[in-house]
Amino acid sequence: MCFSSLQYSSVCSSVLHVESNPILCISRRGTYCTDQSRAADTDSTRKQDVMNALFAFLCLAYFCHGALSCPALCKCYSRRAEVVCNEVPLTEFPSEGLPRNTTMLTIQLTNITSISERQLSATPLLQELHLFSNHLQHLSSNLLQGVPHLSTLDLTGNKLAELPADVFSHAPLRSLVLKDNRIETADAEWLPDNSTLTWLDLSRNRMRKAPTALLQRLPQLESLDLSNNHLETISANSLDALTKLERLNLQDNKLETLDASVLESTRNLTYLFLSRNKLSKIPQKLFQELTELKNLHLDDNQLSHIPPGSLDRLSSLDEEGLDLTSNPWQCDGKVEYLWRWLQKNKKKVFLPQTIICASPPSLSGRSVLSLTESELNLQS
Looking at residue 46, what is its pLDDT? 59
Mean pLDDT over residues 311-338, rounded?
97
- When the candidates are 3.20.20.140, 3.30.420.40, 3.90.226.10, 3.80.10.10, the CATH number that belongs to 219-380 is 3.80.10.10
pLDDT digits (tens, 9 = 90+) for 86-99: 999 999 999 989 99
Mean pLDDT over residues 319-331, rounded?
98
Strand bridging mode 114-115 / 138-139: parallel
| 23-27, 120-124, 215-219, 242-246: least confident range | 23-27
| 68-77, 155-164, 210-219, 247-256: least confident range | 68-77
> What is the pLDDT confidence band of residue 69, given thresholds at 50, 70 and 90?
confident
Looking at residue 12, what is its pLDDT? 39
For residue 39, pLDDT over 90 is answered with: no
Looking at residue 377, what is its pLDDT? 79
For residue 5, pLDDT over 60 is answered with: no
C-alpha dist (Å) from residue 94 to 106, 120, 123: 11, 9, 11
pLDDT digits (tens, 9 = 90+) for 121-159: 999 999 999 999 999 999 999 999 999 999 999 999 999
> What is the pLDDT confidence band of residue 47, given thresholds at 50, 70 and 90?
low
Mean pLDDT of all residues belonging to the chain = 87
pLDDT digits (tens, 9 = 90+) for 252-263: 999 999 999 999
For residue 181, pLDDT over 60 is answered with: yes
Looking at residue 159, what is its pLDDT? 97
Looking at residue 42, what is its pLDDT? 46
Neighbouring C-alpha atoms within 13 Å toward the C-beta of 252 = 11
The CATH code of domain 71-182 reads: 3.80.10.10
Over pLDDT 70: what percentage of the chain?
81
Looking at residue 9, what is its pLDDT? 37
Backbone angles phi, psi at 312, to 5 degrees: -65, -30
pTM, two decimals, is: 0.82
Looking at residue 361, what is its pLDDT? 95
pLDDT digits (tens, 9 = 90+) for 274-287: 999 999 999 999 99
The domain spans of the chain are 5-67, 71-182, 219-380
In 3D space, the residue among 320, 319, 260, 314 whose CA is nearest the CA of residue 290 turns out to be 314
- The neighbour count for residue 258, using CB atoms within 10 Å, is 19
> What is the pLDDT confidence band of residue 11, given thresholds at 50, 70 and 90?
very low
